[in-house]
Structure 1
Amino acid sequence: MQKIVLLRHGQSVWNQENRFTGWTDVDLSEQGRQQAVRAGQLLRRHGYGFDIGFTSVLKRAIKTLDITLEEMDLLWLPVQKSWRLNERFYGALQGLNKADSSLQFGAEQVQRWRRDPHEAPPALTRDDPRFPGHDARYQHLTARELPLTENLSQTLARVLPYWTEQIMGAIRSNQRVLVCAHGNSLRALVQYIDHLTDAEVTQLDIPCGVPLVYELDNDLNRLRHYYLE
């Protein structure tokens, strides 16, 4: 049996302000830092150790992973960062307050944008300052890889190659893996691992800073999963 731990980053300052974040590189709130500390303490108390970490290129996930590993005295651990583990790209909603967006576009429409796997928010234009093509960390991406908006299915389409090639490769080589990412990139991944229907993933919510453990059989199929308490 193999185990892999998935961890959503701690609360960010925009989570705290109820704003759509997406690829905007906002920091952790103080509560988010404490959630990361607690995640590390939980993992250490339950006897977990790791050989490698995976995270996105956004500081709220990177810092959550660093704080968690520091609590475990594992800051020396090798870590791979990839844009493929970034949060879902929320297009023209990025930076907007969620409650204000519901008033502007209607609560039902905003809920579909947030939860329906096939509904994408309004797209940005390439001259918008929020377009990731202006950010140095994405200079290596092709025009097709740079999003203007994303739905959950599109998020899964970019996460899945990294999961199968890099993360699963580490598991197959018997490395103990910790993945620290984002609410929607992890939702997409959980939908794939657990074979969730669209209706089921619509109801799925992954809490900030709570380690989610997956136990896998020798063929890396899911046996069970649970949150550490």
Structure 2
Amino acid sequence: METNYLVLVRHGQSAWNQKNLFTGWKDPGLTELGKEEAFKAGQHIKKQNIKFNLLFTSALKRAQDTASIILEVIEESNINIFKNEALNERDYGDLTGLNKDMARQEFGEEQVQIWRRSYSDGPPNGESLEDTYNRVIPYFENEIMPALQKNKNVIISAHGNSLRALVKFIEEISKEEIVKLEIATGEPIFYEFNEKKLQRKLNW
């Protein structure tokens, strides 16, 4: 049976990441380091010699710019790109724009950690990881999985939390264990799709 691939990439460092601010649905661009991280991700993907057919990304500039850099590096700039806010970072609500250290001082280290890492508890007027999961997964099932089932090779350029939600779904990670998962920048996650299942390629 033919094997095809899904690759997940977290965007490179944004200007607000650099300032240690909660970003959420705000739309800062990439820093120079962020562009280097995207380039590094592209180089890693290029080494695998996979011909890609589709790229899905969020409605936010930092993920789209990361995607553009990767496609340039892998010389696939003409493939179809789909942008949708379903793949956006989680909305941090009242924390958006706050410095993370200042937020810890104001609300307490424990409370901020709960907001950032628990599955079901989100900040005031914002989304939990569960909320993010509940918009990412229907989009994945309805728009991305059918492409994989048609033997298409797919890249998703998105965000730490939207990708955590996706990894939780694909790898059937529990609510308790998902809080420990971090998605690194510049380090693509590769999955093989065969026999109607996705399996992570750990040796790439």
TM-score bracket, normalised by the shorter chain, equals over 0.9
Q: How does 1:137-216 map to 2 (within 5 A)?
A: 149-216=126-193
Structure-2 residue corresponding to 1:224: 200
Using a 3 Å threshold, how does the CA distance of structure 1 residues 165 and 205 change in structure 2: closer, same or farther? same
Q: How does 1:2-151 map to 2 (within 5 A)?
A: 2-123=4-125, 149-151=126-128
- Percent identity between the two aligned chains: 44
Q: Normalising by structure 1, what TM-score? A: 0.85
- The CA deviation string for residues 174-217 of structure 1, in whole angstroms up to 9 with x for no partner, is 11100000000000111111111112100000001211001233
Mapped partners of 1:209, 1:94: distance in 2 = 24
SS at match of 1:190: helix
Mapped partners of 1:96, 1:169: distance in 2 = 39
**What's the C-alpha RMSD, in Å, of the aligned pairs?**
1.1
Tell me whether 177-186 or 208-217 shows the greater mean CA deviation: 208-217
Mapped partners of 1:160, 1:34: distance in 2 = 29
Task: Tell whether the 8 Å contact from 2:5 to 2:152 is kept in structure 1 after alignment.
Answer: no
* Structure 1: runs of 5 or more not aligned: 124-148
Using a 3 Å threshold, how does the CA distance of structure 1 residues 98 and 197 change in structure 2: closer, same or farther? same
The letter for the 2-side match of 1:218 is E
- The CA deviation string for residues 160-181 of structure 1, in whole angstroms up to 9 with x for no partner, is 1110010001111111100000
| Superposition deviation, residue 48 in structure 1 | 2.3
The letter for the 2-side match of 1:37 is F
* Structure 2: runs of 5 or more not aligned: none
